[in-house]
Amino acid sequence: MMKTNFFEMVYEVVKLIPKGRATSYGAIANYLGTGRSARMVGWAMNAAHNLYDVPAHRVVNRNGQLSGKNHFENPRRMEELLESEGIHVSNDQIENFDKVFWDPNLELAI
DNA sequence: TGGCTGACTTTCG
DNA sequence: ACGAAAGCCAGCC
């Protein structure tokens, strides 16, 4: 995908995350080519939460922790959304993150 | 124009 | 093994 804006690229990747799956900021950053700038992905989410219809709850840090839950309208919302999609969350962390992890580099053809 | 910031990640001490 | 610090880059004062 050749988007002019970094944000839109992030949004598209996040939208492509299958239901019941989750990915990490670093994975998206790596897919976009920004590499180590995983912080920007999270920052893009911050800008996206109201402007675009992006399932930001499917994006967590590399440990599967809901690091961005505080940036939702209600911190509980992120966990509820994940649970509603079949992803079990325990103590603000995704269970079996190895299984639900969805790597854009692996699943998407560049 | 220049510097600060950030929902991360990795590495050094 | 745990804690602190740097690295990364695009938007926003």
A49: CB within 7 A of chain B nucleic strand: yes
pLDDT tier at A32 (50, 70, 90 boundaries)? Answer: confident
- Any long-range contacts for A89-98 (C-beta under 8 Å, 24+ apart)? A92/A65, A92/A66, A93/A63, A93/A64, A93/A65, A93/A66, A94/A22, A94/A60, A94/A64, A94/A65, A94/A66, A97/A22, A97/A60, A97/A63, A97/A64
For tokens 């800008």, the residue is A47
A23: CB within 7 A of chain B nucleic strand: no
Check residues A38 and A5 and name the one with the higher pLDDT: A38
> C-alpha A7: how far from its chain's center?
13
Write down the pTM of the prediction: 0.90
**Per-residue pLDDT tens for A56-76?**
999 999 999 999 999 998 999
Burial class (CB in 10 A: 0-12, 13-18, 19+), A66: buried
Protein CB footprint (7 Å) on chain B nucleotides: 5-10
